[in-house]
Amino acid sequence: MNSDSPLLQASQLRWQAAATHIVHDVSLHVGQGELVGLLGPNGSGKSTLLRMIYRILRPASGTVHADGRNIWQHGARDNARAMAVLAQENGSEFELCVRDVVLMGRTPHQSPFARDSAEDFRIVSESLERVSAMPLAERIFSTLSGGEKQRVLMARALAQQAPLLVLDEPTNHLDVRHQFELMNLIRDLGLTTLAALHELPLAAHYCDRLYLLKNGHLVAQGAPAEVLTPETIADVYGVKAQVRPSRRTGKPLIEFLPDEML
C-alpha cells in the first residue's frame, strides 16, 4: 500500500442544503491497495460525501481526483473507467438475468451502440467466478437473496475494471454471515476501496484506515485502534463501549454497553 500517491484524493469538500452544511471541509485519501472505511452515525454526512466523490453531487467547494484526474473535468464514461461504485440504490428492481446485470459493467469500455464482444463476455464470466456467483448467471436478478445480489453487483463493479472501488454501506440489510462473506470478498480481492460502513466491529476488523464523521465534520482518522477508542465512540455515537485488542488478530474488539447509555 502506498498512500503517498493515492488513487483517490478528496480535498476540502463542502456541501450544504439551504443554509445547513451537510459536509464541511472534509479531506481524505485512499492509497493503492488500501481498504479505507468511512464511519459516522446516521445524518453524519457519509452518503453525501460519497455522492460528491462518485460525481452525483457537485460540491459547493473542494476537489476530487480519481486515478490522478479531476472527476469534474472529465465525462461520466471516463470517470467510470477510473472508479466503480456500489451505491445503496442497488438496482433490486432489475428484471434482467445476472449475466446481463454484470454486462452493464462493460458499458464504459464500449462505443455507443456497440454490441457486446467475446472479450466482454469473457470478463463477465471471470468477474462472476471471482465472486463465486457463476451458478447464478442465468437467474433473474430480482429473485436473488440480499447476499447474492451484493455478490452480483460486486461482479458488475469488477467487470468495469476500474482501479478504484467505492461502496456505500455494502453490508446494509445483510445478516451477519453475509456481512462477513462480503467483507472477506472485498478484502481478498485486494482492490483499492473506500467503503462507508455502519458496523464498527466490521470496520475495526477489515479496514486498514478509518475516517470518522460527526455532523458533517471529520473528527478522527487513522488506524482502527487510533479511531475506535471508548472516548471517540462515546462522543460520536453517544454510547459507552469497551475496546481491547483481539488475542488472535490484535485488532480492536468493541463491546458496547447498552445498559450504560450516555
Lowest mean pLDDT among 171-175, 182-186, 213-217, 243-247: 171-175
- State the pLDDT confidence band at 29, using cuts at 50, 70 and 90: very high
Q: State the average pLDDT over residues 240-257.
A: 95
What percent of the chain is predicted at pLDDT more than 90?
A: 72
* Position 201 pLDDT exceeds 80: yes
State the pLDDT at residue 58: 94
State the pLDDT at residue 92: 57
> 259 lies in a domain?
no
- Closest Cα to residue 243, out of 233, 235, 254, 234? 254
State the pLDDT at residue 192: 95
* Position 87 pLDDT exceeds 50: yes
- State the pLDDT confidence band at 1, using cuts at 50, 70 and 90: very low
> 238 lies in a domain?
no
- State the pLDDT confidence band at 94, using cuts at 50, 70 and 90: confident
> 185 lies in a domain?
yes
* Position 167 pLDDT exceeds 60: yes
Please give the Cα distance from 126 to 130 (Å, whole number). Answer: 6
pTM of the model: 0.90
- State the pLDDT confidence band at 88, using cuts at 50, 70 and 90: confident
State the pLDDT at residue 134: 96
Q: How many domains does the chain have?
A: 1
> 171 lies in a domain?
yes
Q: What would the grid cell of residue 199 be?
A: 458496523
* Position 127 pLDDT exceeds 70: yes
Residue 168, H or E segment: strand 164-168
Q: What residues contact residue 84 under an 8 Å CB cut-off, 6+ apart?
A: 105, 157, 158, 160, 162, 164, 165, 166
CB 234 within 8 A of CB 207: no
> 26 lies in a domain?
yes
**R_g over Cα of the chain:** 19
CB 176 within 8 A of CB 205: no
Q: How many CB atoms lie within 10 A of CB 132?
A: 12
Please give the Cα distance from 58 to 64 (Å, whole number). Answer: 10
Residue 56, H or E segment: none
> 71 lies in a domain?
yes
> 247 lies in a domain?
no
* Position 2 pLDDT exceeds 50: no
State the pLDDT at residue 90: 55
Q: State the average pLDDT over residues 84-103.
A: 83
The helix-helix angle for 176-189 and 146-159 (nearest 10°) equals 10
Q: State the average pLDDT over residues 90-111.
A: 84
* Position 49 pLDDT exceeds 60: yes
Residue 38, H or E segment: strand 35-39
Range of the domain at 71: 8-228
CATH code (residue 85): 3.40.50.300
CB 207 within 8 A of CB 36: yes
> 252 lies in a domain?
no
* Position 3 pLDDT exceeds 50: no
Q: State the average pLDDT over residues 47-64.
A: 95
State the pLDDT at residue 89: 61
Q: pLDDT tens, 144-161?
A: 988 899 899 999 999 999
